[in-house]
Structure 1
Amino acid sequence: MNTDIANLEPQPLWKHFAELNSVPRPSKKEERVIKFMQDFGNSQGFETITDEVGNVIIRKPASPGMEDRQTVILQSHLDMVHQKNADTDFDFESQGIEMYIDGDWVKAKSTTLGADNGIGVATMMALLTRKDIAHPPLELLFTIDEETGMTGAQGLKGGLLKGSILLNLDTEDDRELTIGCAGGVDVTATGSYNEENIPFDFVGYKLNLTGLTGGHSGMDIHLGRGNANKLMNRLLYQATDKFNARVYSIDGGSLRNAIPRESFAEVAVPEAKAELFEAFLEKQTDILQAEYSLTDPNLQLQAEPIDLPSSGISYDFQNQLLRALYACPNGIYRMSPAIAGLVQTSNNLARVLVKDGTYSIQCLTRSSVDSEKLDLAQAIQSTFELAGASVTQKGAYPGWTPDPTSTIVATMTNLYKELFQEEPHVNACHAGLECGILGTNYPELEMISFGPTITGAHSPDEKVQISSVQKYWKFLLETLQRVPVR
């Protein structure tokens, strides 16, 4: 356990965060962290149950004098996004996160930090261990697999939870009270292709597009950051047109919920055009660095000579694929006409893998309007079907419709103003929070989401602000004292 982190204030929260970050917890492989949480709940002597999909629920009775208050559900997810820099040697399935303090921030060494949503989980653990905190009856819901499908929330059955108010601890700006979110659907195009011999008078190159900023594919989609898959495709398309380039592999992006930061491609061009091709790449590097100087200042494009492969993508399919990727929508599709500044619908071209006769293209389509989400997903599906792909839409989850009139929203808005002498930002977000799904089986729940300031989520630049965690902890404890009677 990192003792420097564990000794930060509030100490109980940071101590549990350090403990949690020593447990590998990738999405869909949460067996170790589920057992960790089961053991923790049982060690504290509280009722601890695990449902059939792996969600853990721990119940803590009210502190003396607060037995008549409404039961509050606190909810966070156990899994974390696994992203690292390409040159970082790190095994997420066996190693704990390597953290360090940098001024007012906690960061990780070239990997994601897991503050999303580990700070929320650690908060709930701290509430379980503290005996000096006034609080109503608590149900602590630790869900699984939020980051790659929200299957924990989707699998939670009605009737298990008894609370009437749900506090989701997964918002990443301490000034915000989130009361609505987008839904999403995974769109995947797959297929196979014929390979053709590369002409003997060609030379091979590996293109490395790296250093992009990346980020959360929902919360950061409006920031105009470069998508490595789209930029690599732009280069390959032009190289095909100008130099008769032959592509024999593409490997870009990693996770659906992360804006792709890197893409790699292996290509071949006629030896007689090699110098022109290299000059073209230098010019394109300058162009891309100029276009993305503000959003992706570390963008790099490098070309290294490699041995000429024996075969590559057939020329006809190469043209079809590059055109389909070019046509695939990426980024903002529509802004909300009802809420100023809110992205309503978007798509992230998250993963492109083309190699050895097969290909896979993964997108995450989001919207706070289900009909528009499905319309955009169908447009993407049609684009890749025209190139002969087999396309599926899976893992759809609903959005969360805002209710600004709820009692908990009014209570926390007024409390925020009282504590911090400023108005909170009461808003909806363009990300998938579990509240929308949980509300389907618990429609009477009053729900709100808040949390400390976390930046760079879903990327190795992820960091959490120490002073913000202290502010958020104070806000939470005061909120628990203001919960109304039943």
Structure 2
Amino acid sequence: MNEAIRNLEPKRLWNNFADLNAVPRASKKEEEVIDFIKNFGKNLGLETFEDDVRNVIIRKPASPGMENRKGIVLQSHLDMVHQKNNDTEFDFATQGIEMYVEGDWVSANGTTLGADNGLGVATIMAILESNTIDHPAIDALFTIDEETGMTGALGLKGGILQGEILLNLDTEEDDEIGVGCAGGVDVTATKKYSPVLTPSNASSYKLTVKGLQGGHSGMEIQLGLGNANKMMNRILSETNNYCLLSSLLGGSLRNAIPRESNCVVVVESKNDSDFLSSFNKIKNEINNEFHLLESDITVVAEKLDTLPEHVMNSLDQELFIKAVHGAHNGVFRMSPAISDLVETSNNIAKIAVNNDVITIECLTRSSVESSKDNMVNSLRSVFELAGFSINLSGNYPGWAPNMDSPILKVLDALYEKINGEKAHVAACHAGLECGILGTNYPGMDMISFGPTIKGAHSPDERASISSAQKYWEFVIEILKNIPVKA
């Protein structure tokens, strides 16, 4: 299946991507891919080393005639989001990604593709191994754990990198030049509750919301796609008078819009018909609201053969439902400074009710620190009123745009020269590593760009073949046109 990928142009890029995708590389489980990229650099005879947090740096001297150009840092992250469809049998810990070509797109068979940020990694690999591409001195920086905490970027100390210009290869539209991004913080609400015994004269039901698109909780938050956690909460709110919650699991990743949610409820026999009537009412309302956005949505109630031993008490259940109902999800504020840019948002990413504990995990993003704080305080207020404890973690800064950036002027002019039209210079609502890296390298001139990738962080992730060709040509021209040293 993956052999078709190796025949795509540019072959150097796609072959490295295929090699990379054969290596498991989940966030926080990057041991194999770290060894893979270190061996790659050492086999080329290039200086290769890890820093204190296991980021990998490979150095390549300037090609002949380019020694007087400013040194650059080519940067991408090694980890990928591991998501699969519910009916896909796949072990990310042992299997390589199964890819296929369909028209202009490379996709994966029921899983995330890893083009985010695997195509950036493969690009850097292709440049490092080439003897024909003109380039200045290169520090190739492969960071770890970008997707679940950016701990690689946060842990990179000052003084390690030698380049003056950073080219981040983690943007997902090929006509976009990134000059800024959002910061973020994880907001986790937890609460212990007192379970009660399940009524004896009752039935249990498994409620399921599935088939949603999901996707990147930053780049696609403005699309209004369905959030399975919010949908399930609406179902529980509508049926609250007739059922008791036993367990719930919704969403799987902090930075992905949740695609599925499952829960088990108990319904006393006297309430069975009212429960089903209320369930069907809210099911139809959700389908009517979202059918244009979520064509594959499925909402079902399946009667189970066994009863759980315990359920949540009615007061905690009501407070839980109201808290999730009141917690903001989606766009919180659009940027007044940059047209069509989401400034602040929140994704209710994961909810778990199990073992007498409720856990609600959110990822709040913003390009403005004060607005991020405002969003966090809004969430804190709702959850604390319902008796939850709040923990903030993984806080990372945004990247403020510098419209006078020298490397921006280079890329902007080159893009127009190559493509006959202006690039879209923009900040994005994703969490790029540039803002973090800039804290220890404040003088570094930074820019972000990349090939077109759709559906990142979901099994619908796909990469455009024609865009990869366009992007590769752009990369080669950028390397040739890095400014001379001052």
Residue type at the aligned position of 1:145: D
Deviation at 1:275, TM superposition (A): 2.8
Is 1:367 the counterpart of 2:366? The answer is: yes
The runs of at least 4 consecutive aligned structure 1 residues that moved more than 4 Å come to: none
Is 1:471 the counterpart of 2:470? The answer is: yes
For residues 280 and 122 of structure 2, the distance between their equivalents in structure 1, rounded to whole angstroms, comes to: 48
Deviation at 1:198, TM superposition (A): 2.0
| SS class of match (2:417) | helix
For residues 435 and 285 of structure 2, the distance between their equivalents in structure 1, rounded to whole angstroms, comes to: 42
| SS class of match (1:344) | strand
Deviation at 1:44, TM superposition (A): 0.3
- 1:68 corresponds in structure 2 to 68
| CA displacement 1:152-171 (0-9 Å, x = unmatched) | 00000001011111110000
- 2:150 corresponds in structure 1 to 150
Deviation at 1:308, TM superposition (A): 2.2
Residue type at the aligned position of 2:79: D
CA RMSD of aligned residues (A): 1.1
Residue type at the aligned position of 1:340: S
| SS class of match (1:178) | strand
- 2:220 corresponds in structure 1 to 220
Same amino acid, percent of matched pairs: 56
For residues 74 and 356 of structure 1, the distance between their equivalents in structure 2, rounded to whole angstroms, comes to: 46
Within 5 Å, give how 1:229-248 maps onto structure 2: 229-241=229-241, 243=242, 245-248=243-246
| SS class of match (1:161) | coil
- 1:316 corresponds in structure 2 to 315
Residue type at the aligned position of 1:317: D
- 2:338 corresponds in structure 1 to 339
Q: Is the 8 A contact 2:55 2:152 kept in 1?
A: yes
Deviation at 1:269, TM superposition (A): 1.8
For residues 290 and 146 of structure 1, the distance between their equivalents in structure 2, rounded to whole angstroms, comes to: 37
Gaps of 5+ in 1: none
- 2:443 corresponds in structure 1 to 444
For residues 359 and 96 of structure 1, the distance between their equivalents in structure 2, rounded to whole angstroms, comes to: 35
For residues 293 and 480 of structure 2, the distance between their equivalents in structure 1, rounded to whole angstroms, comes to: 42
- 1:482 corresponds in structure 2 to 481
Residue type at the aligned position of 2:313: S
- 2:40 corresponds in structure 1 to 40
| CA displacement 1:346-388 (0-9 Å, x = unmatched) | 0000000001211211000000011211221122123222222
For residues 94 and 390 of structure 2, the distance between their equivalents in structure 1, rounded to whole angstroms, comes to: 34
Deviation at 1:283, TM superposition (A): 3.0
| CA displacement 1:295-347 (0-9 Å, x = unmatched) | 21111101110122221011111111111111111101110011110000000
Within 5 Å, give how 1:10-409 maps onto structure 2: 10-241=10-241, 243=242, 245-306=243-304, 307-409=306-408
Residue type at the aligned position of 1:249: S
- 1:417 corresponds in structure 2 to 416
| SS class of match (2:377) | helix
Deviation at 1:285, TM superposition (A): 2.4
Q: Is the 8 A contact 2:235 2:283 kept in 1?
A: no
- 1:454 corresponds in structure 2 to 453
Q: Is the 8 A contact 2:238 2:278 kept in 1?
A: no
Deviation at 1:142, TM superposition (A): 0.2
Q: Is the 8 A contact 1:285 1:300 kept in 2?
A: no
Residue type at the aligned position of 1:190: T
Q: Is the 8 A contact 1:230 1:326 kept in 2?
A: yes
Residue type at the aligned position of 1:136: P
| SS class of match (1:13) | helix
| SS class of match (1:217) | coil
For residues 321 and 460 of structure 1, the distance between their equivalents in structure 2, rounded to whole angstroms, comes to: 30
Q: Is the 8 A contact 1:205 1:268 kept in 2?
A: yes
| SS class of match (2:253) | coil
Residue type at the aligned position of 2:432: L
For residues 180 and 150 of structure 1, the distance between their equivalents in structure 2, rounded to whole angstroms, comes to: 16
- 2:429 corresponds in structure 1 to 430
Deviation at 1:284, TM superposition (A): 2.4
Deviation at 1:2, TM superposition (A): 2.3
Residue type at the aligned position of 2:289: E
Deviation at 1:18, TM superposition (A): 0.4
Gaps of 5+ in 2: none
Q: Is the 8 A contact 1:218 1:430 kept in 2?
A: yes
Normalising to structure 2: TM-score of the pair?
0.98
Deviates more, 1:261-270 or 1:141-150: 261-270
Deviates more, 1:102-111 or 1:198-207: 198-207
Q: Is the 8 A contact 2:74 2:167 kept in 1?
A: yes
| SS class of match (2:351) | strand
For residues 275 and 358 of structure 1, the distance between their equivalents in structure 2, rounded to whole angstroms, comes to: 30
Residue type at the aligned position of 2:172: E
For residues 360 and 94 of structure 1, the distance between their equivalents in structure 2, rounded to whole angstroms, comes to: 29
| CA displacement 1:235-269 (0-9 Å, x = unmatched) | 1011014x2x1111110001010000000011122
Q: Is the 8 A contact 1:353 1:359 kept in 2?
A: yes
| SS class of match (1:9) | coil
| SS class of match (1:215) | coil
Q: Is the 8 A contact 2:5 2:14 kept in 1?
A: yes
For residues 294 and 125 of structure 1, the distance between their equivalents in structure 2, rounded to whole angstroms, comes to: 41
For residues 363 and 439 of structure 1, the distance between their equivalents in structure 2, rounded to whole angstroms, comes to: 25
Q: Is the 8 A contact 1:329 1:347 kept in 2?
A: yes
| CA displacement 1:367-417 (0-9 Å, x = unmatched) | 001121122112212322222222110110000000111111111111111
Deviation at 1:456, TM superposition (A): 0.3
